[in-house]
């Protein structure tokens, strides 16, 4: 249990630092304890009782029980009905698999993005669906150099990759998002459900999406889908640039180039293009 003790010490140090800045809160402390509990369960490599967990992490048994109950509701831990002991839950397997797929997809996509960026002398990205947003998991600039920057999140309704990803979603998903509300980032942002449904239908028919000043007033973009083995859209390859460098007349050239890259990525992951 050396790893657990090390994490416990690091966790206490972290909380002390947070408290010293005056920004500590019960929520932060609860999240930190829940994370430490999950890591401890992983270190045990098997089942463990709540008393042993609480003792190992230096927390009250009642606190550990409440955290375990909450994590169990989310499928992050599971409990053996006979022994009453806990282990990591199946939801972590699913989350880990999704993260692994994203990382694998990034490794496959980077050479293609570099090629696109060099050929069109603009920024090329790869975006995937993460909840109700697009997350950019790979990025290459006009020099063709891949960036190791942090993942960046963008809205679905106002970006070219977002529209591509929505094109593989059922209509009720767009309606659900509309009920939450679409942020009007610029005067060109689509904020009505009916108009977005029409736009997504166009994307599905044409096989590509555009965004002309819809998320950032001075930025235009085009994107095409990457498909998985079921023919569902799993990612979007995008080229983005300042508006004066991506005008409507340039769209066919860009679409042709990024479509070749997206097809190469689709093939490498064993995907098949959906038939319209």
Task: Tell me the DSSP string of 21-47.
Answer: TT---HHHHHHHHHHHHHHHHHHHTS-
The reply to whether 94-268 shares the fold of 2-88 is no
**pLDDT value at residue 97:** 60
Does domain 94-268 match CATH 3.10.129.10?
Answer: no
- The helix (H) or strand (E) run that includes residue 270 is none
The structure's pTM equals 0.64
Both tokens of 96, joined, read 């880990």
- DSSP character at residue 134: E
**pLDDT value at residue 6:** 42
**pLDDT value at residue 96:** 67
**pLDDT value at residue 242:** 95
CA distance 141 to 122: 6
**pLDDT value at residue 8:** 45
CA distance 24 to 20: 8
**pLDDT value at residue 109:** 93
**pLDDT value at residue 152:** 85
- Per DSSP, the three-state class of 155 is strand
Mean pLDDT of residues grouped by 10 in the chain (276 residues)? 43 44 65 84 79 87 89 86 83 67 80 94 94 91 60 93 94 92 96 96 96 97 93 95 95 96 93 73
CB atoms within 10 A of CB 234: 22
For domain 2-88, give the CATH number. Answer: 1.10.10.10
CB atoms within 10 A of CB 104: 12
**pLDDT value at residue 17:** 41
Domain residue limits, the chain? 2-88, 94-268
**pLDDT value at residue 147:** 55
Of the candidates 148, 185, 170, 161, which has an alpha carbon nearest to the alpha carbon of residue 240? 161
Please report where in the chains the tokens 């509990």 appear, as a residue: 37
CA distance 33 to 260: 47
């Amino acid at each position: 249990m050396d790893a657990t003790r090390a994490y416990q010490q690091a966790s206490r140090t972290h909380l002390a630092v947070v408290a010293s800045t005056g920004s500590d809160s019960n929520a932060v402390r609860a999240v930190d304890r829940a994370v430490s509990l999950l890591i401890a369960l992983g270190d045990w490599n098997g089942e463990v009782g709540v008393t042993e967990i609480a003792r190992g992490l230096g927390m009250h048994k009642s606190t550990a029980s409440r955290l375990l109950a909450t994590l169990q509701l989310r499928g992050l831990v599971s409990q053996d009905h006979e022994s009453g002991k806990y282990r990591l839950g199946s939801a972590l397997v699913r989350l880990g698999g999704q993260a692994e797929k994203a990382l694998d997809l990034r490794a496959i996509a980077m050479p293609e993005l570099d090629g696109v960026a060099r050929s069109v002398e603009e920024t090329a990205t790869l975006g995937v669906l993460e909840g109700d947003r697009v997350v950019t998991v790979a990025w290459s600039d006009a020099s063709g150099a891949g960036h190791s920057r942090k993942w960046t999140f963008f809205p679905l309704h106002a970006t070219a990759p977002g529209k591509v990803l929505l094109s593989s979603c059922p209509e009720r998903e767009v309606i659900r998002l509309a009920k939450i509300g679409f942020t009007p980032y610029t005067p060109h942002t689509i904020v009505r459900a009916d108009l977005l449904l029409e736009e997504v239908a166009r994307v599905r028919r044409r096989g590509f999406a555009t965004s002309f000043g819809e998320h950032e007033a001075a930025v235009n973009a085009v994107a095409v889908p990457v498909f998985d083995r079921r023919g569902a859209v799993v990612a979007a390859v995008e080229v983005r640039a300042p508006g004066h460098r991506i005008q409507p007349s340039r769209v066919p050239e860009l679409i042709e180039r990024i479509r070749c890259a997206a097809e190469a990525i689709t093939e490498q992951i064993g995907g098949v293009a959906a038939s319209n």
